Structure 1
Amino acid sequence: MTDNPNKETNSARAEYIEKMEEKKREASLVRKIVLWLCIGLIIVIAAGGFGAYRYVMGTIEPQDDEEDAREVEVEIPAGSNVDTIADILEESGAIESAMIFQNYIRFQGEDGFQAGDYVLHTAMHADEIIAELQEGTVAEEYETTFIIPEGFWLEETFERIASETNLEEEQLHETAEDEEFLETLIDRYDYITEDILQDDLRHPLEGYLFPARYDFVEEEVSAAEVIDAMAERMASTLDEVNAAPGEDEQFESYHNLLAAASIIEGEAIDDEERGEISGVIDNRLAIDMSLDMDPTVVYAHGERQERTLYEDLEIESPYNTYRNRGLPAGPINNPGEQSISAAMNPEEHSYLYFFHSPEGETYFSESLSEHQTIVNDYQAEDVDHAEDVDEGEEELE
């Protein structure tokens, strides 16, 4: 009997079709499983996201109804940044989460917060709290106000404070040199270290108190309160410019950073040249060349001078950068934010010298010969001018 080839072919085809149908059913099942898994995952994510959204919104919404609201008194010190303000509000109970409040402020792009004493309540929305802090304490409520310009020496700073407050200069100096008080500042602020306790410093806190406007609600303030407010403002400023000294950074300590910034503050005529001056300091330090900065000599003498004479350069002092290599023993004034930022970010160039002309122009040079040429040109002009004056006086006689 002969096998039928058509029958075998039909059987194989049927078997193949059956296998394909089975694979389709399996693929369909897999797709359904994946689909449901995706749907489930989306639901979980959505639920989590919604939960997170509700939590975040809940923390910026009022904590209590009007009838259940609690009054909260908070004090925002001068110079407080967003992080400090948020921490103060959370600790006082005015808000639930400092972290969310900080991020909410940054997301909204809010700034311009004012120092002062505030009475808030727990029925306030985050937006209301922000508006309250931006409006600030009414000017008439400030009983004590003073302004410290950038570049002031500590003696000048305390003299200005004494003239505007109930405090005496002697009180301020005694507090600023009290070792127990200095230790509290060292414990409180990262940027203040044992460096301020060095014996060769003229004033421990020279360069550490930020120059700015300070407002106090109280009519009478203490020396410790004033100095702490200024130290807090400096800490905030250092954070804002991302100052982070260390072994791998431009300066190994805040003390050296502030010393360099104070030299820049003393030398700079305008803001644009701060980075260039910082670059000169950086270049000289890199090759162990004496800085030869006039403001350090003036500070070493202890009194302001219009011009630095050659005989002044010989003064023996740890602040005299003509006699001592490297940075001075400590800061020589209270530098402002731009000088601090310039010290952290020196301009890259090859200059080692600069000269301030009588007209207020600053000329930078790479070599001593180039620098000396510029100096000689101006000295010659001064001599010619002096001779012209003498001749004029003779004619008048």
Structure 2
Amino acid sequence: MDLSIAEEEVRLVEKEPQRKKDVMFERMLEQKEEVRTVRKIVLWIVAVVLVVGIVGGFSVYTYIKSALEPVDPDSEKVVEVEIPIGSGLDMISEKLEESGIIKNARIFKYYAKVNNEADFQAGTYGLTQSMTPDELIKSLKTGVVYRTPAFTLTIPEGLTIDQIAERTSKKTTITKEQFMEYVTNEQVIQEYMAKYPDIITKEILNENIRYALEGYLFPATYPFFEEKPTVKEVVDTMVDATVQNVIPYKAYWAEEGKDRSVHKMLTFASLLEKEATGQADRETIASVFNNRIEQGMPLQTDPTVLYALGEHKARVMNEDLKVDNVYNTYKNKGLPPGPIANAGTASLQATVEPSKTGYLFFLADKNGVNHFAKTYEDHLKNKAKYIDSQHK
């Protein structure tokens, strides 16, 4: 009996290694099956992603292609579209979409930009829904106007309100004194605020602001169809042009923060207008101003000193920087209380779409070329190279 039990135990011991092998084999089979399953899932996901990408890319291509096709290739109906003075590409695109001439304002705008199309003319156009984007662009660059103006008044970028008054007096029967009296009239200012409450706000009534409508008379070439327009007609035209040109940028500016008002946008843009010489400079200078504001540094921009002094000088002296005035950004941090000049679309564009840089300093050499620096040490090197060496 004892021998049988011993023999059975021996047989069990002999079978144990075989059972372990069987278990290991089964586990290996299970792992291989899991690997095959994972591979199938991965391949399926990749296939889905590829299909979605192809379908998505084709859909985008189809959408853009469709948006660039005429709204109605067979239409012969002429639609009058008025392009206001000083209109930028954003506003023109929106006008065309609102009039039903194009399908998508944003795609038309990018199409024009990609093809480097610019210099569109203000006027009243007879357009049809059968016109292609190229045909529309060609028409808008032609500048066909249905009426011939009695005269035109050109207001360049970067002028102060009294300079605009002076320029207007030379082209019209309106004296500089009459112009200034009108734009500083409290009732007139209140009427503009009531007419354009989202653009001309109570910020212009700040007691520190020199002229409430400074920066609100848009730079452009204005056609007048009467030989002797009134001061109201002239100023109304300029204020309305500002409103129309600010609207496309208003939302983009406001996205950056709740304290970003139109007044501050025009103020910021006016600094760029007085400092910059080219579009790339405007965007880079805008980044410098933003960087300095973020770091709590004063802007230290010379045009604000000249505005504070109330005079134009070829070179700002150290003594000038000490002038005790709210517009002096050497003594006061942040933006001045209001615009120091009128700003054009290029400066408005740079204000809402500045470059992203680490620059904190810049200066202009005798040729008007700006040189930027990230540190004060590098700024001093630029000063020695481009400023001091030229005045020895």
TM range (shorter): 0.5 to 0.7
Indicate which of 359, 362, 369 corresponds to 1:361. 369
Indicate which of 147, 155, 160 corresponds to 2:162. 155
Matched, 1:183 2:190: yes
Matched, 1:219 2:227: yes
For 1:142 and 1:316, the matched residues in 2 are separated by 46
Deviations 1:143-178 (A, max 9, x none): 131111111111111111111112111222122112
State the 1:125 CA deviation.
Answer: 7.0
For 2:252 and 2:184, the matched residues in 1 are separated by 26
| SS state at 2:284 partner | helix
For 2:181 and 2:102, the matched residues in 1 are separated by 38
- Map 1:25-104 to 2 at 5 A: 78-79=85-86, 81-82=91-92, 100=100, 103=103
Q: Corresponding residue for 2:315?
A: 307
For 1:204 and 1:149, the matched residues in 2 are separated by 20
Change (3 A) 1:275 1:142: same
Q: Corresponding residue for 2:275?
A: 267
For 2:141 and 2:302, the matched residues in 1 are separated by 43
For 1:107 and 1:166, the matched residues in 2 are separated by 45
AA paired with 1:278? A
State the 1:61 CA deviation.
Answer: 6.2
Matched, 1:145 2:152: yes
State the 1:115 CA deviation.
Answer: 3.2
Deviations 1:21-73 (A, max 9, x none): xxxxxxxxxxxxxxxxxxxxxxxxxxxxxxxxxxx97xx7659xxxxxxxx99
Q: Corresponding residue for 1:36?
A: none
Change (3 A) 1:369 1:75: closer
Change (3 A) 1:133 1:322: closer
Q: Corresponding residue for 1:390?
A: none
Deviations 1:49-102 (A, max 9, x none): xxxxxxx97xx7659xxxxxxxx9998753465589689xxxxxxxxxx65356
For 1:82 and 1:276, the matched residues in 2 are separated by 26
The unaligned stretches of length 5 or more in structure 1 are 1-55, 64-71, 88-97, 386-397
| SS state at 2:320 partner | helix
Change (3 A) 1:125 1:173: same
For 1:180 and 1:248, the matched residues in 2 are separated by 33
For 2:94 and 2:182, the matched residues in 1 are separated by 25
State the 1:260 CA deviation.
Answer: 1.0
Alignment RMSD: 3.6
Change (3 A) 1:310 1:243: farther
For 2:358 and 2:140, the matched residues in 1 are separated by 50
For 1:222 and 1:84, the matched residues in 2 are separated by 31
Change (3 A) 1:135 1:212: closer
For 2:297 and 2:140, the matched residues in 1 are separated by 53
Change (3 A) 1:83 1:264: closer
| SS state at 1:364 partner | strand
Change (3 A) 1:133 1:248: closer
Change (3 A) 1:382 1:181: same
Change (3 A) 1:365 1:302: same
Change (3 A) 1:145 1:197: same
Change (3 A) 1:215 1:311: same
If the length of structure 1 is used for normalisation, what is the TM-score?
Answer: 0.66
If the length of structure 2 is used for normalisation, what is the TM-score?
Answer: 0.67
Change (3 A) 1:321 1:250: farther
AA paired with 1:222? T
AA paired with 2:333? R
- Whether the aligned pair in 1 keeps the contact of 2:266 and 2:343 (CA below 8 Å) is yes
Change (3 A) 1:280 1:85: closer
| SS state at 1:292 partner | coil
Percent identical among aligned pairs is 33
Q: Corresponding residue for 2:301?
A: 293
Indicate which of 321, 328, 334 corresponds to 2:336. 328
State the 1:240 CA deviation.
Answer: 3.9
- Whether the aligned pair in 2 keeps the contact of 1:293 and 1:321 (CA below 8 Å) is yes
State the 1:234 CA deviation.
Answer: 1.8
Q: How many residues are treated as equivalent by the alignment?
A: 304
State the 1:219 CA deviation.
Answer: 1.0
State the 1:222 CA deviation.
Answer: 1.6
AA paired with 1:362? N
| SS state at 1:246 partner | helix
Change (3 A) 1:217 1:106: farther
| SS state at 2:253 partner | coil
Change (3 A) 1:374 1:345: same
For 2:102 and 2:172, the matched residues in 1 are separated by 34
State the 1:322 CA deviation.
Answer: 0.6
State the 1:236 CA deviation.
Answer: 2.3
AA paired with 1:100? G
- Whether the aligned pair in 1 keeps the contact of 2:94 and 2:105 (CA below 8 Å) is no
Matched, 1:207 2:224: no
AA paired with 1:207? G
State the 1:364 CA deviation.
Answer: 0.9
AA paired with 1:182? I
Deviations 1:323-355 (A, max 9, x none): 111101111111111111111112111111012
